[in-house]
Structure 1
Amino acid sequence: MLLSCSELSVHYARRKALNRLTLSIKPGEIRALIGPNGSGKSTALQALAGLIVPQEGSAAIDGTPVNTMPRRQLAKKLAFLPQQPTAPDEMTVAQLVRQGRFAHVGLLRSYSQRDEDAIQWALDSTGLSDLANRSLKELSGGERQRAWISAAIAQEAQILLLDEPTSFLDIGYQIEILNLVHQLSRDRGVSIVMAIHDLNQAMSICDQISLLSKGELMFDGAPRALAESGLIEEVFRVKGRFVEIAHDAPPHFDVELAHRNAHHAF
Structure 2
Amino acid sequence: MKQITRWNNWPSDDEVQYLSDKANGLFHYAATVVQWIEGQIFQYGTASRKRVFEKFTQMGIGQLEDLYRLILMSFENIDGPAQDADWRASQLRGFQHVVGTILVLDEPLTIHQIIALTADIPEDDFDVANFLQRFCSVLIPGTTTSFEEATPQMHKSFRDYIMDGHAPEEFCVLTGHAHLVTARSCLEVIVKAGSQSDVVLKYSVHHWHEHLRKAVEGSTTWEDERMWNLFEQVVDEGIVNVWHTKPWVVFLNVATAGWGLLKVR
TM-score interval for Structure 1 and Structure 2 normalised by the shorter chain:
under 0.3
Q: TM-score, normalised by structure 2?
A: 0.25
Q: TM-score, normalised by structure 1?
A: 0.25
* Structure of higher RCO (CA pairs closer than 8 Å, 6+ residues apart): 1
Larger proportion of helix: 2
Larger radius of gyration: 2
Larger proportion of strand: 1
